[in-house]
Amino acid sequence: MLLYVAKRLGLAAVVIVVIMALLGALVNLVPGDPARIILGPHATPQLIAEVRRSMGLDNPIYVQVWDFMWQAVHGNLGTDFISKASVSSEIGAPLVNTLILSVVSLVLSVVVGVPMGILAAVRRGGIVDALVRGTSVVLLSAPSYVIGLLLLLAFAIDVHLLPALGSGSLSNLGGYAERLIMPSVALAAFWWAYLARLVRSSMLEVLSDPFVRTSRAYGLKERVIRYRVALKNALVPVTALTGLMVGYILAGTVYVEVIFERTGLGNLAIAAIGNRDWPVVRAAVLIYAAAFIVGNLLADVAYRFLDPRLRLEERAEVFI
């Protein structure tokens, strides 16, 4: 197990280095001169050259890549081209809002999606099962930004039940929580459907296993078999999937933050792309990439830890 974790950590480190190298070369790969955009169309070539020099854009690509990687490893994500402030300080507050939205959406996904799957499995073939399966098909087909727009129309414009835009302030927890409801539901809706279908199929598979039939033969009550014996094994794939959900939900906040005009990392990155403010864009992309890598790592390790069959296969390979 320790050897597997060490291998996965090494692979994750290599992926991070490759991503950092690509991000370091980003300013030279994407059309648009940041200096020209900042100064406007009437700037003289001499002034543009001077600004490019102050930004370090006149250095060779390999020097720019190395400088970005070296500084990022030491926690310095660069300087904002426009405000001249540290990127680390600029993304602090937006990152907090994005992380809160991601955590709330993740918890909401599990709290709603898992019970939906359990109900569909224990009431297989009934009205509840059909309702869950039909709803999951609709939710799986609707992107988060579509659900977000529908929520805005229904609960903010038509009913005036919830505030439409903005993220609020943490100093006012009530208003902040109100502004979290629609964005978190928009992000969690897809995972409600995905988790419901996963839990349903996993639960039905476990309920047909020999050890469940043996439990019935010993006279255990059906309720005990379902919720103490079968459910524990059926939730193993869900536990592993939760790690993958971290990266996907964090990346999905980009659409939601733009729709609801929330102060977050995604909204900040979109504005920075329009201004060709590449240090901010690189920092945001690096955070999203790291979330995906960490999520995949957690999912792999969790699945291997929870499923003893994989550990037995690993031991067999070592002996061979």
- Which domains occur in the chain, in start order? 2-90 (no CATH), 92-319 (1.10.3720.10)
pLDDT at position 307: 62
* 257, containing H or E segment: helix 236-259
Between CA 25 and CA 282 the distance in angstroms is 10
Instruction: Please check whether residue 225 is in contact with residue 209, taking contact to mean a CB–CB distance below 8 angstroms.
Output: no
Give, for all 320 residues of the chain, the pLDDT tens digit.
Answer: 667 667 777 777 788 888 777 777 766 666 666 677 667 667 777 777 777 777 777 777 777 778 777 877 777 777 777 777 888 888 888 889 999 999 999 999 989 988 888 888 888 888 888 898 888 888 888 888 888 888 888 888 888 888 878 887 888 888 888 888 899 999 999 999 999 888 888 888 877 777 777 777 777 777 777 777 777 777 777 877 877 788 888 888 888 888 888 888 888 888 888 777 778 888 888 888 888 888 878 777 776 766 655 554 555 444 44
* pTM metric for this prediction: 0.80
34: Cβ contacts below 8 Å, ≥ 6 apart:
27, 55, 57, 81, 275, 276, 277, 278
17: helix, strand or coil: helix
Between CA 102 and CA 107 the distance in angstroms is 9
215: Cβ contacts below 8 Å, ≥ 6 apart:
224, 225, 229
Between CA 114 and CA 112 the distance in angstroms is 6
Instruction: Please check whether residue 197 is in contact with residue 136, taking contact to mean a CB–CB distance below 8 angstroms.
Output: yes
Instruction: Please check whether residue 65 is in contact with residue 24, taking contact to mean a CB–CB distance below 8 angstroms.
Output: yes
